[in-house]
Structure 1
Amino acid sequence: MLRYLLLTLSSAICLCSFSASAHFQELIPSHDIVSTPAESQLSLSLKFTHPMSRGPLMNMATPLQFGVVGPQGRQNLLDTLQAQQTQGVQTFNAIYQIKRPGDYLFYLEPAPYWEPAEGKMIVHYTKVVVDAFGMEDNWAAEVGLPVEIVPLTRPFGLWSGNLFQGVVKRQGKPVPFAEVEVEWLNDGSITPPSDPYITQIVHADANGTFSYVMPKAGWWGFAALLDGKKPMKNPQGKEVPVERGGLIWVFTRDMK
């Protein structure tokens, strides 16, 4: 009996430790604001990981969509992706040349990821906004992703301590009381004192609007996670549930 209780407790501890570290699809540009021609060549890093826990990285298959909505309209950037090996798994990188002033909404639809520990497929539709040369003309536009966070707060030029607000939408309609996970892209300077500090949780209101004050400088990821309406087949061909997430990344700086 004692052995059974110990095994049960051990399993519960493993499960809690796993669930405390959330999956986040990263789409991180080298600059969130382009102010000079020297900054106009962007490097974008695409990784699937647990940002606050600093890993581990998950293997990424070739994304289904990667593009940008900007002053030149909608551009398909799949051909710009370069696969690379990082910590033994596949990640991606891309280079993009800013040519005109305006807001650039980079977006990504990764290939579905099978997570056996959770028994579901994961698809995180992700975006990040880069402002070029102060135009600030289109940052609140919708890319048209199946699940998307539409910012109410301008998603660049933010100080640490600013309030970020967004609306969670599915197929263009607000999702009441959606759950939003929030993580900071840890640079190694912070060790969370316990699991609840790894992933912050907020709920949207009846209109799908959520708010969060970002307490530290760096990249912040917001992930609205919704249950998919239809199952998907896992690599073994079995139909399983789907987690469809809408993510947005924003950058903050300390006021000095």
Structure 2
Amino acid sequence: MSVRLHAGLVAFAALALPVGTVPALAHFQEIIPSADVLPEGGAVSVDMVFTHPVEGGPVMEMKKPAKMGVLMGGKATDLLGQLTEKPVDGKSAWSLAYELKEPGAAIFYVEPQPYWEPSEGKYIVHYSKVIVDSYASGEGWDELVGLPVEIQPLTRPTGIWAGNVFSGVVLQDGKPVPFAEIEVEFINDGTVKPPNDAFVTQVLKADANGTFTYAMPRAGWWGFAALLEGDTPMTSPEGKPVPVEDGALIWVKATDMGGK
């Protein structure tokens, strides 16, 4: 095929696309602590940004969450009043500081307000959580918050080496979701250049029991997002009933054996 003919076919294909069509970007609600393990307990900060992790943006507006808390030792503590607005790239994002005084897993979780995505014609609500192990106890990490959609870890999500696998079960209303689709991204510091769009978001499916496994190839924070359709539609800004994407997210840190 000649270069001129190939170029013509590419141009024709571009014209054939609907006006305004752009590649879909995976939305991820980040909830990232300053450390996944605190060997001696103490202060931890948690930052929340709604963005596209691998591409480093664009950042989306994140209104003040509907709920924010921490579950530790079976007790949930409301942290909504402790949030501080911390804009990123001119968009609203949030942060908090918290003191861990006792050993055990502190499970930080957030329920953001619904985000209207006009390009997809739906609202997005990503119920997200992350575990911080206080005093490196290794206990309590599989406790469930009780979110409408949630990933229960089968692998301890703290103290993980890069290259290890992470396994979890996708739950909706407390029950496993067979063959749920999971999207995976990592927070890119700019050093990784995906060869093309296919490498930006990794995609896998859970098995018949709602269980999935993924090997994290490099150090950093990895987000696992099980995307499920909500039971109740919402009303779009135009007044029409539209679907809701309920995302169950968990963030896991992989650490390089060299200490990075």
TM-score normalised by length of structure 1: 0.93
3-state secondary structure, aligned to 2:87: strand
2-structure distance, mates of 1:224, 1:164: 14
Counterparts of 1:125 and 1:49, CA distance in 2: 14
Tell me the residue number matched to 1:116.
118
Q: 1:31 aligns with which of 24, 27, 35?
A: 35
Q: State the partner residue of 2:213.
A: 211
Query: Which deviations, in whole Å up to 9, do the C-alpha atoms of 1:16-70 show, x marking residues without a partner?
Result: x2x1x20000000001000135xx2111100000001100000011111100001
Q: Distance in 1 between matches of 2:74 and 2:242?
A: 39
2:93 is paired with a residue whose SS is strand
Which residue does 2:3 correspond to in 1?
Answer: none
**RMSD across aligned C-alpha pairs, in angstroms?**
1.7
Taking the aligned partners of 2:33 and 2:237, their CA distance within structure 1 comes to 31
Shift of 1:235: 3.0
- Aligned residue in 1 for 2:203: 201
Q: Quick one: percent identity of the two aligned structures? A: 52
Q: Which amino acid aligns with 1:35?
A: P
1:6 and 1:202 map into 2 onto residues whose CA distance is 29
Aligned-partner Cα distance in 2 for 1:221–1:159: 15
1:7 equivalent to 2:9? Answer no
Aligned CA distance change for structure 1 residues 9 and 150 (closer, same or farther; 3 Å):
same
Mapping of residues 1-256 of structure 1, within 5 Å: 6-9=14-17, 11=19, 14-15=21-22, 17=23, 19=24, 21-37=25-41, 40-71=42-73, 73-256=75-258
Give the alignment's TM-score, normalised by structure 2: 0.92
Deviates more, 1:246-255 or 1:225-234: 225-234
Q: Is the 8 A contact 2:141 2:157 kept in 1?
A: yes
Q: Is the 8 A contact 1:71 1:100 kept in 2?
A: no
Any runs of at least 4 consecutive aligned residues in structure 1 with deviations exceeding 6 A, and if so which?
none
Structure 2 residue runs of 5 or longer lacking an equivalent are 1-8
User: Kindly tell me: are residues 134 and 234 of structure 1, through their superposed partners in 2, closer, same or farther at Cα, counting changes over 3 Å?
Assistant: same
CA contact (8 A) 1:71 1:101 kept: no
Structure 1: gaps (5+ residues): none
Shift of 1:84: 2.5
Aligned partner letter, 1:177: F
Deviations along 1:109-134, one digit per CA (max 9) or x if unpaired, are: 00000000000000000000000112
Contact 1:60 1:90 in 2 (8 A): yes
CA deviation vs aligned residue, 1:128-184 (integer Å, no higher than 9, x gap): 000011222210011100000000000010001001000000000000000000001
